[in-house]
Structure 1
Amino acid sequence: MTGKARRTVAAALTLAAAVPMLSACFEEPSAHEAVRDFLVGWQTGDYAAAARRTDGDQKAVRQALEDAKVHLDAASFRFKLKGIRSAGEQTEADFAAEVDLGENNPLWEYAGKLPLHLVDGRWKVHWSPSVIHPQLREGQRFAVDVKPQGRQPILDRNNDPLQQEATLYVANVIPSLLKDEVAVCRQLSKITGFPQDRLLSRIRSAIPNVQVPLVTFGRAKYAQLRAQLEAIPGLQMTPESLPVAPDSPAQIVGAVTAVTPETEQQLGGPQRAGDTVGRSGLQKAYQEYLTGSTETSVIILDVKTSKTVAELRKWRPGRSTSSVRTTLDRPMQKAADSALLGGSPAMLVAVQASTGNVLAVASTKEYHQERHALAGKFHAGSLFSIMSVEGLLKAQVSLKQKLACPVDRTVGGAQFHQAAPPAGSTLSLQGNFASGCVTALASLARKIDGAELAASAARFGIGAQWSLPLKTFSGRMRPLTNDAATAKAIAGQNVSVSPLSMALVAGAVASGTWHPPVLVIEPKTPDPSADAEPAKTPDAIRIDDKTISALKTLMRAGVTSGSARLAAAPGDPVSGITASATQGRKPLAWFVGWQEDVAVAVLAESTDSTAGAAIAGRFFRGLHAGL
């Protein structure tokens, strides 16, 4: 059932409850019964019953009442009797009218009057068009004038648009030129699936000599239906350019489609042709802002000339269309996209270390930017050893302490394997951290309390309840009940994270403070009707200075002497570490690190543990080169 149908049924139910009240309020002999019968008949669509209570030509009255509903494209009329007054030989009833104009428009309320007199001993409504509305005269009709606002763009942080113009095709008619409006709507309904009655009422409620949009088509759909559409007499196809083709990151920005019969129902009521609907990403999340509202006027037209005689009511948009300003940065996005070209399936998320603002989200075709880069759940590998540093420092463990890196090691019954141990002598903790030796790092589990490791992870945002307009995943760690579980956490085997959550971890080390992610600057919430403040996001968390100092040393060593050497780039030094993990049967190569105020997480599908670092290096070099 459409929104309009629901409103009509509701109106009928309201009426059923109101009739006894009207009957009970007045008794014969008086004009009450005539007023009641007329208003009840009009409200329920029983125009014959209403006409019998007038002194006019019954056929003409029935048609006039029906035309009023059609010309307003009204979902319902509802009336409330205000009183009946008599002065000398004149009797008049006052009523309040409430008209639901449908199309998600506001209610139109106005005051009306019913002149009454006795005809052969019976009270009758003295008929004229002013009975319908005080300003309506013979030779005039209602119409609804609609002026929709165009779709607004999604912008990057520098107010550059993140989409390009695309051509949509709108099927229009000029009502006064149609020879058979019913046939036009029947054919168009058969082709598109839009209800015939909705198309027809849209035509009949419009200004007759003005172009009326009926259905919008995308390029592919229009090409498919073009021959059938051109065969409909009186139908005109008009190309329109709208900012709907997403630029990179396309899956974050989101796709836009023309309104279809299916999306019409999903949105809870009829939408005007020419409207566009966000199908995914930010376009979907901020649909109500990007399309805004429609300016609607109820007017009276001269039937012969179609000129406006009077404007009875105008509703300006309570909320104008609004662009959506994001934290994304087009130059950084370009560098991220370029860094992924020609390599393994991979993803890259870049954030501003000092704020948590998301700057770029890139992925190859094998991964989805929202579902995987922002909301994916992947094993962290030895990256999670970052969370262990605070506990190690509390346990008085020195970064220079020597730790063996064997091929295999068992900790608390849990087995760990290092595929390619570093050659040479036993490395220090710093060296094992820089090279990502799982067996060495797992051996530290006995020195760290599981509760402290969990608390440290929380300080780096793992499991935080942040609020973003798109799906995201902040990470999850299983309970650490023994040394084996703690060792697995340090090795990232019982921990799930997303590239976004690890980019924020890198940003926390770079800036000394963990910040929750931010993707949209304005508007503050995707819901334009929300009066409350946006959903509460976690506060920034300051990390202990001693921990940050140690982590910066360890992660700088990852690039200068560890397995993250390929991340090196011109400009300020790059810091970061790599890690290997598996997801099912897929080998994964991580890199997390930063240069200046840009922190990144890269996840590549590769057996080469340095693959993520290589992508990060290309990204940082691209930024330096101004890509």
Structure 2
Amino acid sequence: MTRARRILSAAATLVVAGTTLTGCFEEPSPHDAVRDFLVGWQSGDYELAAGRTDGDQATVRKTLSDAKQELDAASFRFKIKSLSMTGEEAKADFRAEVDLGENNPLWEYDGLLPLHLVDGTWKVRWSPSVLHPQLKEGQRFAVDTDPRPRKPIVDRTGEPLQGNTVFYSVGVYPAKLGDRAEEVAAKLSKITDYAQDRLLSRIRSSPPDKFVPLVTFGRSRYQTMQSKLDAIDGIETVQQDQPVNPEPPQQIVGSVSALTPETEQKLGGPERAGDSVGRSGLQQAYQDYLTGSTQTKVITLDLKTGKQVALLKEWRGRENVSVKTTIDRSVQAAAEQALGETEASLLVAVQRDTGQILAVGSQGELTRQKDLNQEMGALAGRFPAGTAFSIVAADALLKKDVSPKLRLACPDERTVGGAKFVQAAESTGVTPSATFQENFAKGCVTALASLARRVTADDLSASAKALGVGLPWRLPLKSFSGSLPQLAGDADKAKAIAGQNVEVSPLGMALVAAAVASGTWRPPVLVTDPRSPDPAAEAAQTPQPAPVPIDPKVLAPLKRMMAAGATGTPAQAGKGRVYGVTATAGSQLKWFVGWQGEVAVAVLARNHDPGAVAGGFFSALQNSQ
């Protein structure tokens, strides 16, 4: 909840509190004095509150106003616990709730208001202990914070996936400012757009001899502001190295920026000036884990010495932790090398036996989408499956005892159920009496579509689900598991076998390849620790789908079909057998879906042979190992 919302909430509570207090007692009683003092303090009407005390009015008003700044408090709320009278003396016990404006529990404490009759009117007997029982004359509140540096996102071996970037933390030592705190806050506010009262509260709430970060800048922004900042007497700058410069896969790791007035207001959480904020990718998804929450102490200080007198409350904060991913640097480097020779392509590599994502890469733009990248394209992109979906269709057909040796014609055109299919010019080389396996390997859409009557819509749907298409698996980043529409008849089934009415993501197809390679489909994994970006909501989340083994009678022939699909293609590069299919998905997009050894991959390319990208990837991976 943002600071503004907390203040509104407090105002709403105030109305209820005022009404409740009004009806508690009949006059004459100290009730009105208690009510007006606490309501005035809570609402910031310090004149009302001061008028119900026997102290110097200006002193009381200033003390109450200063307390709000000294605590950097978003709001105060009070609840009367008891009120008793003995002759001309009375006392009211109250419960205070102070919102310190950070992602900490409310500071709650019990206070006491002593009252007595002054010329027939009940007055609060004024002293600093009215604010808190441990606050004495010559003392004030302060809030001592200990922010933690941002933790890195790491690869599967624990090595950071980002380098350090310098941030410039601009702040003050309150003791050096003397009575110029308001002047400095005003000047800094004017050039940074941070609210003056927030800057002043942070200065006045901090221990005087401790550096107080007020505004944080990245390098370029700081350089444009440096001359203006240097002109403010009392401002000091501290350089901080933070692990925020992303390495491949950059868009999965995500970007980070310094806290700005806008993000501070929007977040309303543990972030303070001096912190960095995740803008995208895992940096944004795991912001709370990477930064933790600030260790905070509410203390009292001696006004003369500035030294701590008492510790009133302490929150140790939530420890920040690194985020461990499944990314493998050598696999990622091989992906970057293979993609570098293309105009526009996406690649996802997963470990075949675990579903762990080893590499995610992108090059250029596959479509006109301006935001297409590793996350939006490779993980969450919705692309036509084309004949790459024939892997899923083959699972259904083999279960229906369609033999890989079945002879199928591969004409240039064919109509099935009223739907017309045209064989792509580049998918030639299939003999008129080729087998199902040969047509699968060459991606003959007219031959594959002719098999629609061999399976039911339920058969195709079941195989799609068994290989993860459309299942509700999830990642900490946006992802897409695929979609298969309702299949009404032979035309729809034929289109599905040809992948013309099916949408998939490169990640989803890489998992299909991994399933055939290992014999079991598994949901994807990108982060191994912490398990969820939001631990509070983890218990309510739908569990990940369970692994699904492939029917043993299907697995062996399906592997042979995918071996045939890669034989003699650019994907078959380097040492070791490659399994896979090259498929068309419209006039420009092409797929390669397959595996070599322990690594399964899906490549989607525009105006480029995806098999060549896969071959380059496997070769680069072998060389790195």
What range describes the TM-score normalised by the shorter chain of this pair?
Answer: over 0.9
Alignment of 1:218-229 (within 5 A): 218-229=218-229
1:346 CA displacement: 1.0
Alignment of 1:3-22 (within 5 A): 3-22=2-21
Any idea what the Cα deviations from partners look like across 1:236-278, whole Å, max 9, x if unmatched? Answer: 1221100111111111111111111222233246831012111
Counterpart of 1:602 in structure 2 is 603
Counterpart of 1:328 in structure 2 is 327
1:119 CA displacement: 2.9
Counterpart of 1:281 in structure 2 is 281
1:223 CA displacement: 2.2
Is the CA contact 2:103–2:293 (under 8 Å) kept in the aligned structure 1? no
2:241 partner SS: strand
* 1:375 and 2:380 correspond: yes
* 1:437 and 2:462 correspond: no
Q: Distance in 1 between matches of 2:432 and 2:92?
A: 103
Counterpart of 2:368 in structure 1 is none
* 1:478 and 2:485 correspond: yes
1:620 CA displacement: 1.3
2:536 partner SS: coil
1:427 partner SS: coil
1:537 partner SS: coil
Counterpart of 2:408 in structure 1 is 403
Is the CA contact 2:410–2:447 (under 8 Å) kept in the aligned structure 1? yes
* 1:25 and 2:24 correspond: yes
1:441 CA displacement: 1.9
Counterpart of 2:570 in structure 1 is 566
Any idea what the Cα deviations from partners look like across 1:272-307, whole Å, max 9, x if unmatched? Answer: 101211111111111121111111111111112111
1:29 CA displacement: 4.0
Counterpart of 1:624 in structure 2 is 622
Q: Distance in 1 between matches of 2:19 and 2:373?
A: 61
Against the structure 1 CA distance between its residues 573 and 128, is the aligned structure 2 distance closer, same or farther, given a 3 Å change threshold?
Answer: same
Is the CA contact 2:14–2:43 (under 8 Å) kept in the aligned structure 1? yes
Is the CA contact 1:68–1:141 (under 8 Å) kept in the aligned structure 2? yes
1:596 CA displacement: 1.8
1:456 partner SS: helix
Indicate which of 467, 470, 473 corresponds to 1:466.
Answer: 473
Counterpart of 1:303 in structure 2 is 303
Is the CA contact 2:40–2:49 (under 8 Å) kept in the aligned structure 1? yes
1:612 CA displacement: 1.0
Is the CA contact 1:418–1:439 (under 8 Å) kept in the aligned structure 2? no
Counterpart of 1:578 in structure 2 is 582
Q: Distance in 2 between matches of 1:54 and 1:221?
A: 50
* Structure 2 alignment gaps of length 5 or more: 366-371
Letter in 1 for 2:34: V
- The number of residue pairs the alignment matches comes to 616
1:91 CA displacement: 4.3
Is the CA contact 1:467–1:535 (under 8 Å) kept in the aligned structure 2? no
Any idea what the Cα deviations from partners look like across 1:108-139, whole Å, max 9, x if unmatched? Answer: 12222233333333333222222222221221
Alignment of 1:119-518 (within 5 A): 119-178=118-177, 180-268=180-268, 271-317=271-317, 319-366=318-365, 367-413=372-418, 414-420=420-426, 421-422=428-429, 426-518=433-525
Q: Distance in 1 between matches of 2:126 and 2:232?
A: 40
Q: Distance in 1 between matches of 2:375 and 2:268?
A: 26
1:59 CA displacement: 1.4
Against the structure 1 CA distance between its residues 406 and 28, is the aligned structure 2 distance closer, same or farther, given a 3 Å change threshold?
Answer: closer
Q: Distance in 1 between matches of 2:453 and 2:88?
A: 103
| Bigger mean CA offset, 525-534 vs 378-387 | 525-534
Counterpart of 2:535 in structure 1 is 528
Letter in 2 for 1:145: D
Is the CA contact 2:142–2:299 (under 8 Å) kept in the aligned structure 1? yes
Letter in 1 for 2:347: L
Letter in 1 for 2:407: K
Q: Distance in 2 between matches of 1:531 and 1:394?
A: 37
1:423 CA displacement: 6.4
Q: Distance in 2 between matches of 1:448 and 1:6?
A: 58
Is the CA contact 2:2–2:267 (under 8 Å) kept in the aligned structure 1? no
1:32 CA displacement: 3.6
Against the structure 1 CA distance between its residues 39 and 404, is the aligned structure 2 distance closer, same or farther, given a 3 Å change threshold?
Answer: closer
Is the CA contact 2:300–2:308 (under 8 Å) kept in the aligned structure 1? yes
* Structure 1 alignment gaps of length 5 or more: none
Q: Distance in 1 between matches of 2:432 and 2:529?
A: 55
Q: Distance in 2 between matches of 1:48 and 1:118?
A: 20
Q: Distance in 1 between matches of 2:267 and 2:556?
A: 52
Counterpart of 1:615 in structure 2 is 613
TM-score (norm 1): 0.93
1:17 CA displacement: 2.2
Against the structure 1 CA distance between its residues 120 and 348, is the aligned structure 2 distance closer, same or farther, given a 3 Å change threshold?
Answer: same
Is the CA contact 1:288–1:528 (under 8 Å) kept in the aligned structure 2? no
Alignment of 1:34-53 (within 5 A): 34-53=33-52
1:553 CA displacement: 0.5
TM-score (norm 2): 0.93
1:452 partner SS: helix
Alignment of 1:518-557 (within 5 A): 518-530=525-537, 532=539, 534-557=541-564
Any idea what the Cα deviations from partners look like across 1:456-499, whole Å, max 9, x if unmatched? Answer: 12211111111111111111223322222222222221211111
Against the structure 1 CA distance between its residues 64 and 573, is the aligned structure 2 distance closer, same or farther, given a 3 Å change threshold?
Answer: same
Q: Distance in 2 between matches of 1:424 and 1:538?
A: 41
| Bigger mean CA offset, 332-341 vs 528-537 | 528-537
1:570 CA displacement: 3.8
Q: Distance in 1 between matches of 2:33 and 2:406?
A: 100
1:503 CA displacement: 0.4
1:405 CA displacement: 2.5
Q: Distance in 1 between matches of 2:395 and 2:54?
A: 92
Q: Distance in 2 between matches of 1:470 and 1:46?
A: 47
Over the matched positions of the two proteins, sequence identity in percent amounts to 57
Is the CA contact 1:356–1:517 (under 8 Å) kept in the aligned structure 2? yes
